[in-house]
Amino acid sequence: MARLTLSYSDVYQKVGEFLGLVASGTAPTGQDLTDVKDIVARGLRQFLYPIDMREGTPHYWSFLNQYFTLNLVADQWKYALPLDYSDLLSEIVFDTGKWLPRLQRRSGIQIKDLRSSSDASGWPQYYAIVPSTYDLTTGSSFELWFYPKPSQSYILSTFYRIDPLRPSATTDLMVGGISAAEAILESCLGVAEHNQDDNTTQHHQKKAEELIQKLIRFDSGRVESNLVGNLYYNKIWAGLDRESGVFNTDIDFDRDVYA
């Protein structure tokens, strides 16, 4: 059973039809295919980084938030981040069962200074996110550096924001799922519309803006929270200062904040 999401070919074929390059249901070829793929790439970029017009501030789509786990091995202090890494969204923490303090972020220069002072090993206390290499086909990539270097295997986890890679296969699905499909299509058609008639008409551009703003409001309502009824939802972690390992006895866990 087919899903209601749009594939890469679905979108660039619609762009080709709008521009009069192909008949309905026919895929572009040759230079026409190259042109419509470039238009789709531009439309995707405009969709991915919108402005919330209610506040005049950038909106970051929740569906670009990615959970990530990293397996550390003994004596290795550099690790490649995923190719689609953009920004770190949460603290880097040790896996469940490891009662270790959260890692503190430092600069790459600080990590190098620490390593030059002592090539220590143990459980990592500090990390840095450092540009790794620049490739003409994939762009910039990043690494995680740790200090001290791990003395054994550890599992770390965090959330990061992705920069989606450009679609390539015809069956690649558009990011964001069903809720984002029409906004992405209209964004791509809006770019085609601008190219075709030098902005004398703006039907698809206006429709794209309308759909994106609606989706921003919907996306903003996806609130992720563990705070249900009582702010002290986790008695162990709320009372434990993970830096010092000292339990805070001043917190009244049994008092409901709504009482």
The amino acid at 99: W
Q: Is residue 136, in this structure, part of any structural domain at all?
A: yes
Q: Is residue 3, in this structure, part of any structural domain at all?
A: no
Q: Is residue 170, in this structure, part of any structural domain at all?
A: no
Together in a domain, 77 and 140: yes
Together in a domain, 76 and 158: yes
Together in a domain, 92 and 49: no
| pLDDT band, residue 228 (cuts 50/70/90) | very low
Together in a domain, 39 and 108: no
- Flag whether pLDDT at 23 surpasses 50: yes
Structure tokens at 13: 């074929």
Region 75-86 average pLDDT: 95
Residue 65, φ and ψ in degrees, nearest 5: -85, 125
CA separation, residue 107 to residues 127, 128, 144, 210 (Å): 8, 5, 11, 41
The predicted structure's pLDDT at residue 149: 96
Find, among 187, 215, 212, 211, the residue nearest to 18 by Cα.
Answer: 187
Domain-ending residue, one of 131, 162, 193: 162
Together in a domain, 51 and 78: no
Find, among 10, 79, 43, the residue nearest to 164 by Cα.
Answer: 43
Q: Is residue 1, in this structure, part of any structural domain at all?
A: no
| pLDDT band, residue 236 (cuts 50/70/90) | very low
Together in a domain, 183 and 158: no
Domain-ending residue, one of 137, 162, 187: 162
Together in a domain, 181 and 256: no
- Flag whether pLDDT at 223 surpasses 70: no
Q: Is residue 171, in this structure, part of any structural domain at all?
A: no
Together in a domain, 104 and 18: no
Residues 98-140: tens digit of each pLDDT:
788 889 999 999 999 999 999 999 999 999 999 988 887 777 8
Q: Is residue 29, in this structure, part of any structural domain at all?
A: yes
Together in a domain, 144 and 196: no
Together in a domain, 97 and 147: yes
- Flag whether pLDDT at 208 surpasses 60: yes
Q: For residues 155 and 236, which has the higher predicted lDDT (pLDDT)?
A: 155
Q: Is residue 167, in this structure, part of any structural domain at all?
A: no
The predicted structure's pLDDT at residue 4: 84
Together in a domain, 126 and 84: yes
Domain-ending residue, one of 129, 162, 195: 162
The predicted structure's pLDDT at residue 17: 94
Domain housing 245: 229-259
Task: Write down the mean pLDDT value for the chain.
Answer: 84
Together in a domain, 50 and 18: yes
User: What is the number of domains present in the chain?
Assistant: 3
For residue 148, whether the previous peptide bond is cis, meaning omega lies within 30 degrees of 0, is yes
